[in-house]
Amino acid sequence: MPVDMTHPVLTTLESVLDTARPLTSGAVADYIPELAKVDAESLGISLVSSRGDVHDAGDSDIAFTIQSVSKPFVLALALDEHGLDEVTKHVGLEPSGEPFNAISLDAETGRPLNPMINAGAMVTSSLIAGATADEKFAVIKDGLERFAGRDLIVDEDVFDSETSTGDRNRALAYLALSTGSLAASVDVATAAYFRQCSVAVTARDLAIMAATLATGGVNPTTRERVISEDAARWTTAVMTSCGMYDDSGTWMVNVGLPAKSGVGGGIVAVQPGQFGIGTFSPRLDERGNSVRGVAMLEALSKRYGLHMLSHRGEPHSPVGSLRSEEGRTVAELRGEIYFAAAEEIFTRLTPLMNDDGCLVLDFSNVTRVGLAVKELFRAVPQLVGETSSGQPRAIVVDPDGVLDEA
């Protein structure tokens, strides 16, 4: 019979909620009338691992509108459809250092500075396939649903409110149109964008969506490839420098996770290769970021060393052991081997590839090898050639085929 116990990760998330709960500064967004009606006390967090394990605490299942948290995911869809070169003809990749609704256009090209501000996000939405707003939004909604792993709905009251108060966004869209950046009419682009922002999600949805970026574009709960690995990497990079508006630099110093906030109260954060986090708390600071959401993610990062630039000490050596065997030196390799590990292997072991014997590189205990690094190891026997007696200087033993092309 299983023992009834609290999962340690749940305890962690609950403690983060306790850290943020006393904070009462900030206010709900009221420039969109429907957003002013939300419960300011709602507070939730969810963490989803790259294996698809879901951990929730607090109000993680309360629905709210995704707002600007949709921006990186729609960017990812556009990148997957058109590629980086085409997308960046229309929108830049540089931080603006300005509020989300600022007029931030490149002085030379006229492009919006990045896809995380409103002007750039409307350009990104305009790039999605479809001649009408409904057609574009159908593609966007399908993509967001594949990121979340479930069907999503539009909060029509919020959409109506967005539409009736969206004159500034229309003005930004007209500016983008005047520079040739907008890929659709203003009416089509803004209508698709307003509806995109009005999609209802939960903190759990955001965590799954973030985990999909963390795993290189594969939803870890459905196992569906949603976008390409390139699109996931490019999107995460833009989130790193631009995701928290004019607070992005401070965010990266204090938290160090690629993230995106929205005025609906959500924040999505990515730990590449490991997990995604979604938070929900509607009170916003002066920059439009959730006060409690920022506090929760700061607490998690500082307590558990989540900063993506943290130094975690010397990695384990990929060379498990060296032994002599019938005139050969056998190097038992282990773990995951990417460029840094390959550099150590070649630096330490290349001197052993000489006329006195043969070096055997045994990959039996290796779990994963970087794609480009595979090519280096497959080429080793040809690169080092043979001894003067015609024997190979190096042999690669790969019983599980970890060096096979993926």
Active site residue 380: no
Gap between the Cα atoms of 288 and 11, Å rounded: 29
Gap between the Cα atoms of 288 and 385, Å rounded: 62
Gap between the Cα atoms of 5 and 116, Å rounded: 42
Query: Cα(first)–Cα(last) distance of the chain, in Å?
Result: 42
Strand 259-261 with 44-49, pairing: unpaired
Going 16 to 18 to 23 to 28, the CA torsion angle's sign is positive
* Residue 246 and residue 262 in contact, taking contact as beta carbons nearer than 8 Å: no
Active site residue 193: yes
Active site residue 87: no
Which is nearest to 382 in space by CA: 373, 371, 393?
393
Query: How open is the CA angle 108-114-116, to the nearest 5 degrees?
Result: 155
Active site residue 263: yes
Which is nearest to 120 in space by CA: 185, 192, 181?
181
Q: Which helix (H) or strand (E) holds 55?
A: strand 54-58
Q: Catalytic residue among 46, 49, 50, 68, which? A: 68
Q: Catalytic residue among 245, 268, 374, 402, which? A: 245
Q: Residues 138-161, buried b or exposed e (16+ Cβ, 10 A)? A: bbbbebbbbbbbeebebbeebbeb
CA distance readout (Å), 65 to 173, 227, 250, 349: 22, 23, 26, 56
Active site residue 31: no
386 beta partners: 392
Q: Catalytic residue among 71, 136, 141, 260, which? A: 71
* Residue 293 and residue 261 in contact, taking contact as beta carbons nearer than 8 Å: yes
Going 311 to 312 to 313 to 317, the CA torsion angle's sign is negative
Q: Catalytic residue among 193, 218, 366, 369, which? A: 193
Q: Catalytic residue among 74, 263, 294, 369, which? A: 263
- Catalytic positions are 68, 71, 193, 245, 263
